[in-house]
Every structure is written in C-alpha cells, then in structure tokens.
Amino acid sequence: MSDNQLFKPELRSQLQQVLSNLNREQLLWLGGYISAAIDFAPSAGSVVADPIIEPKAVAQEAESAVVSSKKRSLAILYGSHSGNSQKVAVLANQEAQRQGVESRVVSMEDYNARFLKDEEQLLVVVSTHGEGEPPLAAQELYDLMAGKKAPQLNDLPFAVIALGDSSYKKFCQTGIDFHNFISRQGGKPLREVAMLDTDFNSELGALIPSVVELFAKSEGLNGQAAPSKPRQSQEVVASDLPVEAPLLTKLQLNGRGSDKETWHLEISTDKTGLVYQPGDALEVFANNNPELVQSVLKQLSLDGSEKVNVDGQSITLEEALTNYYELTIVTSQVVKKYAALLPDTSLNKLLDDADKLETFLEGTDALDLFTKYPVALTAEQLLSVLRSLPPRAYSIASSPSEVGSEVHITVGAVRYEKDNRNRGGVCSTFIADRLKDSDSLKVRIRPNNQFRLPANGDTPVIMVGAGTGVAPFRSFMQHRAALGSNGKNWLIFGDRHFTTDFLYQSEWLKYKKNGLLTRLDVAFSRDQEEKRYVQHRMKRNGKELYRWIAEGAHFYVCGDMKRMALDVKNAFLDILQIEGNMSREQSEAFLLKLRKEGRYQEDVY
C-alpha cells in the first residue's frame, strides 16, 4: 500500500505541519508514543467501532505532547532521622500535584546519586542530627556532594527545607551544607534555605505552597505557573496532636545516697490510640516552673493576667509562659530576635563571636537574658522573641508485647546551679517535682525506624548504654523474651556507682540467670580511683566483641551524643583495627557498611 493510499492528502499535510515544528527530543517522544499505540490499533480494513479520529485531533494530541515535554519534573529528596523530613517531603509532593507540578518523593537512602545530574528540578528536605551531622539516611549523598566527585548541576533549579533544633549550636547545618554543595556545583537556588525549628508544624501551611510555587513558575510556559487544582478545605499539615495518658507508676530508681536522680514512669496507653515499637521514643509535653514564670514577669514588669493570643485562643500571659513558650533554654535565634529590640549593639557584638555566644548560651535561661540585657517589652514583644515550648523525647523502656497497654520511660532529673541560682531541665524537673501520682501526661509517640531490633530473632545483639541510655535495651529484652527469640544478647552498661546507680539491676540479673542475657558487663566510673566507662569494657573484651560482629551481630548505642557515643564509636574502630587487622581507613569503611546495613545503630541525645 502506497503512502497516498495510507493517508489522504489533507491528513498528510497536517501531519507534516505538526512534525516540522517538533525538535529532536519531541520527535523521539512522539515515536515512542506511536510505537506503544501500534499494539492497540486496528489493522487496515478492520471494522472500527469508534469514529475515525479527525486530523485536527491528531494535531491537538501532538501539540499536547509538545506542552508535556516542556514540563520539568521535580525530584523531592529527603533525609530523615525521626520521620519529620519524610513528613514534610510527602506534604510537598501533595502540594506539587495540587499545583500541577510533576513530582516524586525519594529517600536519600534509596536514591542513586549518579542520576542527580539528570534531575530537572530539585527540592531537598533534610534534618540535622546532633551537632551538625547529617542523618544516616543522608550520609552517602552528603559525602558525595561534599567531595571531589560531586556532579556538575549546571543551572539546576533547587531549594532546601532544613529541619533542626535551634538549641543546638549548628542549627539546620545539614540543610545549609546541601544548599552550599549544590550551589557550588552550579545549581540555581530559587530561595534561601528554609530553616524549621522543632515547632515547625504551624509554619508548613504557608511555607510548603510558597516553595512549590517557585518550581511551578520555573516550569510554566512563558513564565506562567502550571494550572493548579483548587485547594481543599483541610489543612496542609496532618494532625499530630498529643493525647492525655494517665500516670500509673512513678518510682525513683537510684539508691539512697546517690548523687543522681532517675525516675521510672509507667503510663497507661489504654484508650489513647498510642501505638509503639521497641526503639521508639515518647514525647512528653511539660510546663515551666511557676517560680521561673513569676520571676520573668517580675523582671519585665508585666502583668500575668494580661490577655494574649496564642494559636487563635485568648489566654493569660502567665498561662502562655507556663504552657506554650520555652524559658529554660535560650537559643541563638532567640538572642537575635531580642537583640533587635535593644537600643544598643551589645548583643549584636555577642552574636558576632561564635565562641563567646556558645559560652553565654550554656546553661542560660530566659531570665538570665532579660536580666543581663534589660529592656522594656510588651507582652506581644516578649512572645515574639521566645520560641515555642517543644516536647522532650525519652527512649521508651518497655515493649507492648510484655507490658500490654502501658508505656514506660526512664528520666534523669537535670539540676544545676549557675550565678547563685538553682536551675533545672524543664521536663525532667516537671516530672520529678510537680507530677503527682494521680496526674495525666500529655504525650505522643515519636517513631524511630533507625533504632530497631533485627527482624530475625536469632540474630545476636550487642547493647551499649550509659545511665538512662539503658532504657531502650530494657524494651529490647522484654520484646525478645515475649517473642521467645533465640539470638544472643550482650549488655554493656555504665553509670557512677554499683550500689546506687545500677538501673533495673534485678531485671538484668533475672535475664542473665534465665539465659536470655548471654553477657553482662558493667562499668561504674566512681567506684575506683581510675574512672572506667563503657568504652573501656568494650576494649577489654575486644576479641569477643569482634567475634560477635563477625558472626553477624547488630550493635546498638544509647546515651550522650557529645562524649559517650563518640567514645564508643572510637573504641569500636580501635577494636576493628586490632582484632580485624584493619587500617583506620578500612575500619571506617567497615563501620559505614554496618551503618548502611542497619547493624550499627545509635539513639543519642
């Protein structure tokens, strides 16, 4: 059959007119489209039930293909530790679809970095873990972008949403680093880094649409944004409200004479909807010490009965300071806001010196700030300076398989003196001093998928914890006991004194006696002249520890981030070098491999 027989002259003319306006990429797309359509097309002479498609429709289809090809897809990469970055990324993806932007969400952990140079638009959503460290899920991509092998990203439109905690020195540092990495490689930033603090939920409703709109405008034809669907009536942010849970038990774990104060709490989850797994944390919503609240009001000469607006409700200033705003911790962001209200530049000079600022913020509360740098404030100005009071997270010390409709936590009371005034942690002293046995707690579960028991109950585990860092390992042992797991279990625990600070001693000894706890090594730092810590116990048993790792054991660390966790990591690397005959570089590469496999996990604070 000739071309003249296949196509009528007017149809052939229309096709040629459409094709002449297509570039190579559009022709390739159209070729693939036609190839796929061949399988479903009737052969010549076949009876077709539907009417013949008009040439005009073919032209419109081709024109639609041209428009489609001009759209640039948006890759939303997230690096999450506790799940917050993933939540924000999913919400951004939903908003992108509403605004007509083609998008997809990928965890950095599952992303093939070699495709980064091929992305058309990029939104990075990443949290900062600890003192400026990337979360484990983001580590590999972070290392690539920080190194010499980072790909060129010429004119790649991008934006970064960074999550962090402004009480840490390097607030949102990982997000800032990604912004700098991508810019250095030629990326085109659509805005400055959006930095979210712990109380970020209220900001998402405005932030996410505004960020996505930048990409919608970037990809639109003739500078026009892609057509968007009407916004639904529901909020952009999913509900994440805490619940009231009755306190069942409150016990002090330390023996008489201890210089520490550790509390064991058992809380009912019955009819609360709370569901958790071993490894998760419980967020507790506390209130500020009434004495501190009154001292702040007195220092600023403000009336606590004055009405203020908080989250759309009219309450007294005293209630706002008691329940809604942070007073015990002052962050650099708070200092910046307060400095703007001062008539002089004294605080600006402090902000310009990172070392002096860090020293000033250590142990400083809001009363210190207002006393050392006095200025008259209105109630509204005061609240605009302070950050919202975030919940405090505690590693869960129980397994629902063992305790049923309960959740247990282990809380160390934080108390110290500075400038001749007694201070305390907001939540730990709330629990220790003001929480009564008949009270309820406002709580919610914070999942921690980066701190999980191995799925196979036969897998051996090594657990290293100091002080209240032993809490999640109590949940691990309860869970393995309830499930009848056969895997070996080794606990290395440290605290100050054997007689007063061996937390949950009777339970560990019971597990040791019945064989569930295969090994128990302890380090009590103050019971001898030379201090001994958990890392010393690790090294002393390095040969055995390496053998467990070689057999496939999972290694867990829980405790202080700045010192304990770092000391444990260095001891682990030393053991790999000595017992595994590795160089320093090889031991670090092996540790990274264990992390990626989920065999070296940390729950640090």
Instruction: Give the whole-angstrom CA distance, residue 102 versus residue 99.
Output: 9
Whether 102 and 203 map to the same domain: the answer is: yes
Which of the four pLDDT bands, split at 50, 70 and 90, describes residue 114? confident
**Residue found by looking up tokens 């160390």 in the block:** 412
Please indicate, yes or no, if residue 559 is contained in any of the structural domains. yes
Q: What is the pLDDT of residue 299?
A: 97
Half-sphere exposure of 319 (CA within 13 A, CB side): 11
Whether 178 and 196 map to the same domain: the answer is: yes
Say if residue 181's pLDDT is above 50.
yes
Q: What is the pTM of this model?
A: 0.77
Please indicate, yes or no, if residue 417 is contained in any of the structural domains. no
pLDDT per residue as tens digits for the range 15-56: 655 555 555 445 444 554 453 344 334 444 443 333 333 444
Provide the domain count of the chain: 4
E strands, 96-143, where?
A: 103-107, 121-127
Instruction: Give the whole-angstrom CA distance, residue 351 versus residue 348.
Output: 5
Q: What is the pLDDT of residue 56?
A: 43
**For range 328-353, the mean pLDDT:** 92
Among 39, 70, 101, the domain-final residue is 70
Please indicate, yes or no, if residue 26 is contained in any of the structural domains. yes
Whether 47 and 119 map to the same domain: the answer is: no
Say if residue 410's pLDDT is above 50.
yes
Half-sphere exposure of 582 (CA within 13 A, CB side): 17
Q: What is the pLDDT of residue 223?
A: 39
Q: What is the pLDDT of residue 455?
A: 95
Please indicate, yes or no, if residue 294 is contained in any of the structural domains. yes
Q: What is the pLDDT of residue 82?
A: 75
User: 313-345 burial string, b = 16+ CB within 10 Å, else e?
Assistant: eeebbbbbbbbbbbbbbbbbebbeebbebeeee
Which of the four pLDDT bands, split at 50, 70 and 90, describes residue 327? very high
Among 331, 365, 385, the domain-final residue is 385
With contact defined as beta carbons under 8 Å apart, do 548 and 460 qualify? yes
Whether 88 and 204 map to the same domain: the answer is: yes
Whether 51 and 82 map to the same domain: the answer is: no
Whether 79 and 43 map to the same domain: the answer is: no
Q: What is the pLDDT of residue 8?
A: 55
pLDDT per residue as tens digits for the range 341-366: 999 888 999 999 988 998 999 999 99
Q: What is the pLDDT of residue 593?
A: 94
Any residues with CB less than 8 A from the CB of 419 and at least 6 apart, and which? 368
Among 323, 353, 385, the domain-final residue is 385
Instruction: Give the whole-angstrom CA distance, residue 551 versus residue 458.
Output: 11
Q: What is the pLDDT of residue 399?
A: 98
pLDDT per residue as tens digits for the range 429-447: 999 999 999 999 999 999 9
Whether 43 and 103 map to the same domain: the answer is: no
Q: What is the pLDDT of residue 54?
A: 40
Please indicate, yes or no, if residue 267 is contained in any of the structural domains. no
Say if residue 486's pLDDT is above 60.
yes
With contact defined as beta carbons under 8 Å apart, do 512 and 520 qualify? yes
Q: What is the pLDDT of residue 53?
A: 35
Q: What is the pLDDT of residue 95?
A: 94
What CA dihedral angle connects 56, 58, 63 and 68, to 10 degrees?
Answer: 140
Handedness of CA 583, 588, 594, 597 (dihedral sign): negative
Beta bridge partners of 313: 310
Domain containing 66: what range? 3-70
With contact defined as beta carbons under 8 Å apart, do 352 and 358 qualify? no
Please indicate, yes or no, if residue 430 is contained in any of the structural domains. no
Q: Of 535, 547, 588, 543, which is closest to residue 460 (Cα–Cα)?
A: 547
Whether 216 and 149 map to the same domain: the answer is: yes
**For range 184-208, the mean pLDDT:** 91
User: The tokens of 312 are what?
Assistant: 């759309």
pLDDT per residue as tens digits for the range 532-577: 999 999 999 999 999 999 999 999 999 988 789 999 999 999 999 9
Whether 90 and 198 map to the same domain: the answer is: yes
585, exposed or middle or buried, with CB in 10 Å at 0-12, 13-18, 19+? exposed
Whether 156 and 25 map to the same domain: the answer is: no
Q: Of 97, 38, 29, 101, which is closest to residue 61 (Cα–Cα)?
A: 29
Say if residue 7's pLDDT is above 70.
no
Residue type at position 466: A
